[in-house]
Structure 1
Amino acid sequence: MKPNSDAIKKRYDRIAPYFDGMEAVMEGLFFKSWRKRLWDKADGHHILEVGVGTGKNFDYYPKDARITGIDFSEKMLIEARRKRDRKQVNVELDLMDVQSLYFADNSFDTVIASFVFCSVPAPIKGLKELYRVCKPGGQVLLLEHVLSSNTVIAGAMNLLNPLVVTLVGANINRQTVKNVQACPFSSVRVDEHSSDIIKLIEARK
Protein backbone atom coordinates (compact mmCIF):
# COMPACT_ATOMS: atom_id res chain seq x y z
CA MET A 1 0.00 0.00 0.00
CA LYS A 2 1.42 3.37 -1.03
CA PRO A 3 1.65 6.08 1.65
CA ASN A 4 -0.92 8.87 1.32
CA SER A 5 -0.30 12.59 1.82
CA ASP A 6 -1.18 12.52 5.52
CA ALA A 7 1.29 9.72 6.24
CA ILE A 8 4.09 11.52 4.39
CA LYS A 9 3.26 14.83 6.09
CA LYS A 10 3.68 13.16 9.47
CA ARG A 11 7.10 11.83 8.48
CA TYR A 12 8.29 15.25 7.33
CA ASP A 13 6.79 16.87 10.43
CA ARG A 14 8.77 14.39 12.52
CA ILE A 15 12.14 15.08 10.90
CA ALA A 16 11.69 18.83 10.28
CA PRO A 17 13.82 20.04 13.26
CA TYR A 18 16.68 17.76 12.18
CA PHE A 19 16.29 18.00 8.40
CA ASP A 20 19.08 20.47 7.65
CA GLY A 21 21.50 18.52 9.81
CA MET A 22 20.53 15.20 8.22
CA GLU A 23 21.39 16.48 4.74
CA ALA A 24 24.28 18.80 5.64
CA VAL A 25 27.04 16.68 4.08
CA MET A 26 25.19 16.04 0.82
CA GLU A 27 24.12 19.67 0.73
CA GLY A 28 27.68 20.91 1.00
CA LEU A 29 29.19 18.41 -1.42
CA PHE A 30 26.55 18.28 -4.14
CA PHE A 31 23.23 20.03 -3.72
CA LYS A 32 24.35 23.65 -3.24
CA SER A 33 25.85 23.90 -6.72
CA TRP A 34 22.77 22.26 -8.22
CA ARG A 35 20.45 24.67 -6.40
CA LYS A 36 22.39 27.66 -7.76
CA ARG A 37 22.22 26.27 -11.29
CA LEU A 38 18.47 25.68 -10.89
CA TRP A 39 17.70 29.19 -9.65
CA ASP A 40 19.94 30.83 -12.25
CA LYS A 41 17.39 29.59 -14.80
CA ALA A 42 14.41 31.24 -13.06
CA ASP A 43 12.95 34.24 -14.84
CA GLY A 44 9.94 36.51 -14.61
CA HIS A 45 8.61 38.58 -11.73
CA HIS A 46 6.21 36.14 -10.04
CA ILE A 47 7.77 32.83 -8.93
CA LEU A 48 6.30 29.89 -7.04
CA GLU A 49 8.56 27.54 -5.11
CA VAL A 50 6.84 24.23 -4.44
CA GLY A 51 8.07 22.20 -1.47
CA VAL A 52 9.96 25.05 0.15
CA GLY A 53 10.83 22.77 3.09
CA THR A 54 13.13 24.45 5.61
CA GLY A 55 14.12 27.17 3.14
CA LYS A 56 17.24 25.65 1.64
CA ASN A 57 16.80 27.70 -1.52
CA PHE A 58 16.48 31.10 0.20
CA ASP A 59 20.10 32.01 -0.58
CA TYR A 60 19.47 31.60 -4.32
CA TYR A 61 16.28 33.64 -4.70
CA PRO A 62 16.37 36.40 -7.36
CA LYS A 63 16.46 39.74 -5.56
CA ASP A 64 13.86 41.51 -7.69
CA ALA A 65 11.21 38.76 -7.85
CA ARG A 66 7.96 38.28 -5.98
CA ILE A 67 8.23 34.77 -4.55
CA THR A 68 5.65 32.51 -2.92
CA GLY A 69 6.81 29.31 -1.21
CA ILE A 70 4.53 26.43 -0.26
CA ASP A 71 4.89 23.17 1.62
CA PHE A 72 2.45 20.56 2.91
CA SER A 73 4.31 20.11 6.21
CA GLU A 74 3.50 22.70 8.88
CA LYS A 75 6.60 21.76 10.88
CA MET A 76 8.84 22.29 7.84
CA LEU A 77 7.22 25.69 7.35
CA ILE A 78 7.95 26.59 10.98
CA GLU A 79 11.64 26.00 10.25
CA ALA A 80 11.35 27.98 6.99
CA ARG A 81 9.71 30.95 8.74
CA ARG A 82 12.49 31.04 11.33
CA LYS A 83 15.11 31.00 8.57
CA ARG A 84 13.21 33.63 6.56
CA ASP A 85 13.07 35.99 9.51
CA ARG A 86 16.71 35.40 10.44
CA LYS A 87 17.96 35.95 6.88
CA GLN A 88 15.37 38.66 6.11
CA VAL A 89 14.21 36.94 2.94
CA ASN A 90 11.25 38.43 1.09
CA VAL A 91 8.99 35.41 0.54
CA GLU A 92 5.37 34.60 1.35
CA LEU A 93 5.02 31.13 2.88
CA ASP A 94 1.81 29.09 2.76
CA LEU A 95 0.67 25.62 3.81
CA MET A 96 -0.47 23.84 0.65
CA ASP A 97 -0.35 20.47 -1.11
CA VAL A 98 1.07 20.49 -4.65
CA GLN A 99 -1.60 17.98 -5.66
CA SER A 100 -4.29 20.62 -4.99
CA LEU A 101 -3.01 24.16 -5.36
CA TYR A 102 -5.25 27.07 -4.35
CA PHE A 103 -3.85 29.42 -7.02
CA ALA A 104 -5.70 30.53 -10.13
CA ASP A 105 -4.78 29.26 -13.57
CA ASN A 106 -1.85 31.04 -15.27
CA SER A 107 -0.57 32.76 -12.11
CA PHE A 108 3.23 32.37 -12.20
CA ASP A 109 6.05 33.16 -14.63
CA THR A 110 8.21 30.37 -13.19
CA VAL A 111 7.27 27.40 -11.00
CA ILE A 112 10.25 25.75 -9.36
CA ALA A 113 10.88 22.74 -7.12
CA SER A 114 13.94 20.92 -5.81
CA PHE A 115 13.83 17.30 -4.64
CA VAL A 116 10.05 17.42 -4.18
CA PHE A 117 8.44 14.93 -6.54
CA CYS A 118 10.15 12.01 -4.84
CA SER A 119 7.59 12.45 -2.04
CA VAL A 120 4.40 13.42 -3.90
CA PRO A 121 1.95 10.47 -3.70
CA ALA A 122 0.42 11.22 -7.13
CA PRO A 123 3.29 12.88 -9.03
CA ILE A 124 1.55 13.35 -12.38
CA LYS A 125 -1.41 14.99 -10.64
CA GLY A 126 1.02 17.36 -8.92
CA LEU A 127 2.86 18.10 -12.16
CA LYS A 128 -0.40 18.92 -13.91
CA GLU A 129 -1.14 21.40 -11.13
CA LEU A 130 2.22 23.07 -11.80
CA TYR A 131 1.29 23.24 -15.48
CA ARG A 132 -2.09 24.77 -14.61
CA VAL A 133 -0.76 27.60 -12.44
CA CYS A 134 2.14 28.42 -14.79
CA LYS A 135 1.50 31.23 -17.27
CA PRO A 136 1.42 30.45 -21.00
CA GLY A 137 5.01 30.68 -22.20
CA GLY A 138 6.22 30.31 -18.60
CA GLN A 139 8.45 27.57 -17.30
CA VAL A 140 8.48 24.80 -14.73
CA LEU A 141 11.95 23.99 -13.38
CA LEU A 142 12.58 20.81 -11.42
CA LEU A 143 15.69 19.46 -9.73
CA GLU A 144 15.02 15.83 -8.90
CA HIS A 145 16.76 12.58 -8.09
CA VAL A 146 15.45 9.78 -10.29
CA LEU A 147 15.81 6.07 -10.94
CA SER A 148 19.21 5.21 -12.42
CA SER A 149 19.45 4.06 -16.04
CA ASN A 150 21.99 1.45 -14.87
CA THR A 151 20.04 -1.78 -14.37
CA VAL A 152 22.13 -2.94 -11.40
CA ILE A 153 21.89 0.39 -9.59
CA ALA A 154 18.19 0.68 -10.48
CA GLY A 155 17.58 -2.77 -9.01
CA ALA A 156 19.23 -1.75 -5.75
CA MET A 157 17.22 1.50 -5.66
CA ASN A 158 13.97 -0.39 -6.20
CA LEU A 159 14.93 -2.84 -3.47
CA LEU A 160 15.76 -0.09 -0.96
CA ASN A 161 12.84 2.17 -1.85
CA PRO A 162 10.26 0.80 0.62
CA LEU A 163 12.69 1.30 3.51
CA VAL A 164 13.53 4.87 2.47
CA VAL A 165 9.84 5.74 2.08
CA THR A 166 9.10 4.35 5.54
CA LEU A 167 11.93 6.32 7.14
CA VAL A 168 11.63 9.70 5.43
CA GLY A 169 8.67 9.59 3.04
CA ALA A 170 10.77 9.98 -0.14
CA ASN A 171 10.91 7.61 -3.11
CA ILE A 172 14.34 7.06 -4.66
CA ASN A 173 13.05 5.30 -7.78
CA ARG A 174 10.80 7.87 -9.43
CA GLN A 175 10.96 8.42 -13.21
CA THR A 176 10.23 12.13 -13.08
CA VAL A 177 11.45 13.00 -16.58
CA LYS A 178 8.91 10.57 -18.06
CA ASN A 179 6.22 11.95 -15.73
CA VAL A 180 6.88 15.51 -16.92
CA GLN A 181 6.80 14.33 -20.54
CA ALA A 182 3.37 12.81 -19.85
CA CYS A 183 2.01 16.31 -19.10
CA PRO A 184 0.91 18.78 -21.81
CA PHE A 185 4.04 20.98 -21.80
CA SER A 186 5.07 22.39 -25.17
CA SER A 187 8.68 21.36 -24.55
CA VAL A 188 10.66 19.36 -22.02
CA ARG A 189 14.44 19.24 -21.85
CA VAL A 190 17.00 17.94 -19.38
CA ASP A 191 19.96 20.20 -18.58
CA GLU A 192 23.12 18.84 -20.19
CA HIS A 193 24.99 18.89 -16.87
CA SER A 194 22.53 16.44 -15.30
CA SER A 195 23.89 13.15 -14.00
CA ASP A 196 22.46 9.65 -14.15
CA ILE A 197 20.49 10.14 -10.94
CA ILE A 198 20.16 13.93 -10.51
CA LYS A 199 18.21 15.67 -13.27
CA LEU A 200 17.53 19.36 -13.85
CA ILE A 201 14.35 19.40 -15.90
CA GLU A 202 13.15 22.44 -17.85
CA ALA A 203 9.54 22.38 -19.09
CA ARG A 204 7.87 25.18 -21.03
CA LYS A 205 4.09 25.72 -21.10
Structure 2
Amino acid sequence: MGKWFPRWYDALMEPLERRGIRNIRIRLLQKAWGNVLEIGSGTGLNFPYYEQVEQVTAIDPEPLMVKQSMQRAEQAHVPIRVRRAEAEALPFADNLFDTAVGTLVLCTVPDPNKALAEIRRVCKPGAPVLFFEHVRLEHPLLGRLQDGLTPVWKRLCDGCHLNRNTLEQIQRAGFKTTVVEPHYKGIFLVIEAVNEKDIGKQ
Protein backbone atom coordinates (compact mmCIF):
# COMPACT_ATOMS: atom_id res chain seq x y z
CA MET A 1 0.00 0.00 0.00
CA GLY A 2 1.25 3.51 -0.75
CA LYS A 3 1.71 5.81 2.22
CA TRP A 4 -0.71 8.42 0.91
CA PHE A 5 -3.84 6.27 1.36
CA PRO A 6 -3.52 5.58 5.12
CA ARG A 7 -2.55 9.20 5.79
CA TRP A 8 -5.51 10.63 3.91
CA TYR A 9 -8.08 7.95 4.72
CA ASP A 10 -9.81 9.81 7.55
CA ALA A 11 -10.03 13.03 5.54
CA LEU A 12 -11.45 11.15 2.55
CA MET A 13 -14.02 9.39 4.72
CA GLU A 14 -15.17 12.41 6.74
CA PRO A 15 -17.77 13.71 4.24
CA LEU A 16 -19.32 10.24 4.04
CA GLU A 17 -19.18 9.86 7.82
CA ARG A 18 -21.11 13.12 8.25
CA ARG A 19 -23.68 12.07 5.65
CA GLY A 20 -24.76 8.99 7.55
CA ILE A 21 -22.05 6.35 7.73
CA ARG A 22 -21.13 7.37 11.28
CA ASN A 23 -24.70 6.71 12.43
CA ILE A 24 -24.70 3.35 10.66
CA ARG A 25 -21.51 2.38 12.52
CA ILE A 26 -23.02 3.40 15.86
CA ARG A 27 -26.22 1.40 15.35
CA LEU A 28 -24.35 -1.67 14.10
CA LEU A 29 -21.81 -1.73 16.92
CA GLN A 30 -24.54 -1.53 19.54
CA LYS A 31 -25.26 -5.15 18.58
CA ALA A 32 -21.72 -6.36 19.39
CA TRP A 33 -21.15 -8.07 22.72
CA GLY A 34 -18.60 -10.04 24.71
CA ASN A 35 -15.16 -10.69 23.28
CA VAL A 36 -15.15 -8.95 19.88
CA LEU A 37 -12.97 -9.41 16.81
CA GLU A 38 -12.79 -6.53 14.35
CA ILE A 39 -11.13 -7.25 11.02
CA GLY A 40 -9.66 -4.50 8.88
CA SER A 41 -9.92 -1.94 11.66
CA GLY A 42 -7.97 0.65 9.66
CA THR A 43 -7.53 3.94 11.51
CA GLY A 44 -9.95 2.89 14.25
CA LEU A 45 -13.05 4.76 13.11
CA ASN A 46 -15.24 2.22 14.91
CA PHE A 47 -13.37 2.37 18.22
CA PRO A 48 -15.27 5.27 19.86
CA TYR A 49 -18.60 3.47 19.35
CA TYR A 50 -17.93 0.22 21.22
CA GLU A 51 -19.70 0.30 24.57
CA GLN A 52 -21.42 -2.86 25.83
CA VAL A 53 -18.56 -5.27 25.12
CA GLU A 54 -15.86 -6.85 27.28
CA GLN A 55 -12.95 -6.18 24.93
CA VAL A 56 -12.06 -5.76 21.27
CA THR A 57 -9.22 -7.36 19.34
CA ALA A 58 -8.73 -5.31 16.18
CA ILE A 59 -6.54 -6.45 13.30
CA ASP A 60 -5.28 -4.75 10.16
CA PRO A 61 -2.45 -5.72 7.78
CA GLU A 62 -1.25 -2.16 7.14
CA PRO A 63 1.32 -0.89 9.69
CA LEU A 64 0.52 2.79 9.11
CA MET A 65 -3.16 2.15 9.71
CA VAL A 66 -2.37 0.24 12.91
CA LYS A 67 -0.16 3.08 14.12
CA GLN A 68 -2.79 5.71 13.38
CA SER A 69 -5.46 3.73 15.22
CA MET A 70 -3.58 3.59 18.51
CA GLN A 71 -4.79 6.94 19.82
CA ARG A 72 -8.42 6.01 19.23
CA ALA A 73 -7.80 2.65 20.94
CA GLU A 74 -6.35 4.39 23.99
CA GLN A 75 -9.32 6.77 24.19
CA ALA A 76 -12.00 4.10 23.72
CA HIS A 77 -14.62 3.25 26.35
CA VAL A 78 -13.60 -0.42 26.37
CA PRO A 79 -10.25 -2.25 26.20
CA ILE A 80 -9.07 -2.44 22.58
CA ARG A 81 -5.99 -4.37 21.53
CA VAL A 82 -4.72 -3.58 18.03
CA ARG A 83 -2.36 -5.87 16.20
CA ARG A 84 -1.07 -6.29 12.69
CA ALA A 85 -2.49 -9.39 11.01
CA GLU A 86 -4.19 -10.52 7.82
CA ALA A 87 -7.82 -11.58 7.78
CA GLU A 88 -6.95 -14.66 5.71
CA ALA A 89 -4.64 -16.01 8.45
CA LEU A 90 -6.02 -14.96 11.83
CA PRO A 91 -3.56 -15.75 14.65
CA PHE A 92 -6.26 -16.88 17.08
CA ALA A 93 -7.64 -20.13 18.46
CA ASP A 94 -10.87 -21.70 17.27
CA ASN A 95 -14.16 -20.61 18.86
CA LEU A 96 -12.61 -17.67 20.71
CA PHE A 97 -14.78 -14.66 19.87
CA ASP A 98 -18.40 -13.83 20.75
CA THR A 99 -18.87 -11.29 17.93
CA ALA A 100 -17.08 -10.38 14.71
CA VAL A 101 -17.24 -6.96 13.04
CA GLY A 102 -16.12 -5.75 9.62
CA THR A 103 -16.91 -2.35 8.13
CA LEU A 104 -15.87 -1.45 4.58
CA VAL A 105 -13.21 -4.14 4.61
CA LEU A 106 -14.21 -7.19 2.53
CA CYS A 107 -13.89 -5.07 -0.61
CA THR A 108 -10.12 -4.81 -0.05
CA VAL A 109 -9.23 -8.23 1.37
CA PRO A 110 -7.28 -10.12 -1.33
CA ASP A 111 -9.10 -13.40 -0.63
CA PRO A 112 -12.48 -12.66 1.00
CA ASN A 113 -13.58 -16.31 0.94
CA LYS A 114 -10.55 -17.36 2.95
CA ALA A 115 -11.05 -14.44 5.33
CA LEU A 116 -14.67 -15.42 5.92
CA ALA A 117 -13.62 -19.02 6.59
CA GLU A 118 -11.15 -17.73 9.17
CA ILE A 119 -13.80 -15.54 10.82
CA ARG A 120 -16.09 -18.56 10.99
CA ARG A 121 -13.31 -20.63 12.57
CA VAL A 122 -12.36 -18.20 15.33
CA CYS A 123 -15.94 -17.22 16.27
CA LYS A 124 -18.09 -19.31 18.56
CA PRO A 125 -21.15 -21.15 17.24
CA GLY A 126 -24.07 -18.76 17.12
CA ALA A 127 -21.83 -15.68 17.28
CA PRO A 128 -23.25 -12.60 15.56
CA VAL A 129 -21.19 -11.38 12.62
CA LEU A 130 -21.80 -7.73 11.75
CA PHE A 131 -20.80 -6.21 8.42
CA PHE A 132 -21.21 -2.87 6.68
CA GLU A 133 -19.98 -3.18 3.09
CA HIS A 134 -20.36 -1.69 -0.35
CA VAL A 135 -21.41 -4.16 -3.04
CA ARG A 136 -21.97 -4.63 -6.75
CA LEU A 137 -25.36 -3.32 -7.85
CA GLU A 138 -27.76 -5.65 -9.66
CA HIS A 139 -28.68 -2.82 -12.03
CA PRO A 140 -27.56 -3.92 -15.54
CA LEU A 141 -25.92 -0.60 -16.45
CA LEU A 142 -24.55 0.48 -13.05
CA GLY A 143 -23.23 -3.00 -12.26
CA ARG A 144 -21.26 -3.03 -15.53
CA LEU A 145 -20.00 0.46 -14.75
CA GLN A 146 -18.66 -0.81 -11.40
CA ASP A 147 -16.99 -3.69 -13.25
CA GLY A 148 -15.32 -1.30 -15.66
CA LEU A 149 -14.11 1.10 -12.97
CA THR A 150 -12.76 -1.53 -10.59
CA PRO A 151 -9.30 -2.07 -12.18
CA VAL A 152 -8.45 1.64 -11.89
CA TRP A 153 -10.21 2.02 -8.52
CA LYS A 154 -8.17 -0.83 -7.06
CA ARG A 155 -4.93 0.92 -7.92
CA LEU A 156 -6.10 4.23 -6.46
CA CYS A 157 -7.72 2.91 -3.30
CA ASP A 158 -5.54 0.12 -1.92
CA GLY A 159 -7.12 -2.82 -3.70
CA CYS A 160 -10.74 -1.82 -3.12
CA HIS A 161 -13.12 -3.72 -5.43
CA LEU A 162 -16.29 -1.87 -6.40
CA ASN A 163 -17.96 -4.98 -7.79
CA ARG A 164 -17.86 -7.74 -5.19
CA ASN A 165 -21.07 -9.61 -4.34
CA THR A 166 -20.26 -9.60 -0.65
CA LEU A 167 -23.67 -10.75 0.55
CA GLU A 168 -23.45 -13.90 -1.57
CA GLN A 169 -19.90 -14.55 -0.33
CA ILE A 170 -21.01 -14.28 3.31
CA GLN A 171 -23.91 -16.66 2.77
CA ARG A 172 -21.78 -19.12 0.82
CA ALA A 173 -19.21 -19.15 3.64
CA GLY A 174 -21.72 -20.75 6.02
CA PHE A 175 -23.17 -17.75 7.83
CA LYS A 176 -26.92 -17.41 8.21
CA THR A 177 -27.96 -13.87 7.33
CA THR A 178 -30.63 -12.41 9.61
CA VAL A 179 -30.69 -8.78 8.45
CA VAL A 180 -29.85 -7.24 5.08
CA GLU A 181 -30.39 -3.49 5.15
CA PRO A 182 -29.62 -1.42 2.03
CA HIS A 183 -28.30 2.13 2.18
CA TYR A 184 -27.56 4.73 -0.49
CA LYS A 185 -29.78 3.04 -3.09
CA GLY A 186 -28.27 -0.38 -2.38
CA ILE A 187 -24.63 0.50 -2.94
CA PHE A 188 -23.99 -0.17 0.76
CA LEU A 189 -25.45 -3.00 2.84
CA VAL A 190 -25.64 -3.65 6.55
CA ILE A 191 -25.41 -7.42 6.83
CA GLU A 192 -26.08 -9.14 10.13
CA ALA A 193 -25.41 -12.86 10.22
CA VAL A 194 -24.96 -15.76 12.62
CA ASN A 195 -22.04 -18.16 12.68
CA GLU A 196 -23.82 -21.44 12.09
CA LYS A 197 -21.54 -24.33 12.86
CA ASP A 198 -21.45 -27.48 14.96
CA ILE A 199 -18.60 -27.15 17.44
CA GLY A 200 -18.33 -30.92 17.60
CA LYS A 201 -17.26 -30.99 13.94
CA GLN A 202 -14.52 -28.38 14.26
* 8 Å contact kept, 2:39–2:102: yes
* Matched AA of 1:177: L
1:181: Cα distance to partner? Answer: 1.1
Q: Pick the aligned partner of 1:112 from 101, 112, 130.
A: 101
2:125 corresponds to 1:136: yes
1:86 shift after superposition: 5.0
Q: Secondary structure at the match of 1:191?
A: strand
1:40 — aligned with what?
Answer: 30
TM-aligned CA deviation for residue 88 of structure 1 = 6.8
1:184 — aligned with what? 174
Equivalent residues of 1:149, 1:196 under 8 A apart:
no
**Residue of structure 2 equivalent to 1:145:** 134
Task: Find the aligned partners of 1:154 and 1:64 in 2 and give their Cα distance.
Answer: 38
Aligned residues: 193
C-alpha contact (below 8 Å) 1:111/1:141 kept by paired residues: yes
Distance 2:37 2:76 in 1: 19
Does residue 1:24 correspond to 2:5, yes or no? Answer: no
- For 2:84 and 2:57, the matched residues in 1 are separated by 11
Q: What TM-score do the two structures reach when normalised by structure 2?
A: 0.89
Between 83-92 and 97-106, report the one with greater CA deviation: 83-92
Moved more, 81-90 or 195-204: 81-90
Superposed displacement of residue 158, structure 1: 0.9
Q: Among residues 84, 88, 97, which one is paired with 1:99 in the alignment?
A: 88
Conserved 8 A contact 1:190-1:199: no
Distance 2:82 2:69 in 1: 8
State how far apart, in whole Å, the 2-side matches of 1:120 and 1:49 are: 14
Structure 1 outlier segments of 4+, above 6 Å? none
The whole-number CA distance in structure 1 between the counterparts of 2:135 and 2:29 is 20
Distance verdict in 2 for CA 1:116–1:79, change over 3 Å: same
> Is 1:198 the equivalent of 2:196?
no
Q: Distance in 2 between matches of 1:137 and 1:204?
A: 5
3-state SS of paired residue (1:106): coil
Query: In 1, Cα distance between the equivalents of 2:169 and 2:23?
Result: 25
1:172 to 2:166 alignment: no
The AA in structure 1 aligned to 2:20 is F
The TM-score normalised by the length of structure 1 is 0.88
- Aligned residue for 1:54, secondary structure, equals coil
Kept in 2, the 8 Å contact 1:72–1:96? The answer is yes
Whole-angstrom CA distance in 2 between matches of 1:117 and 1:189: 19
Shift of 1:149: 1.5
For structure 1, which runs of at least 5 residues remain unmatched after alignment? 1-9
* 50, 53, 66: which one aligns with 2:39: 50
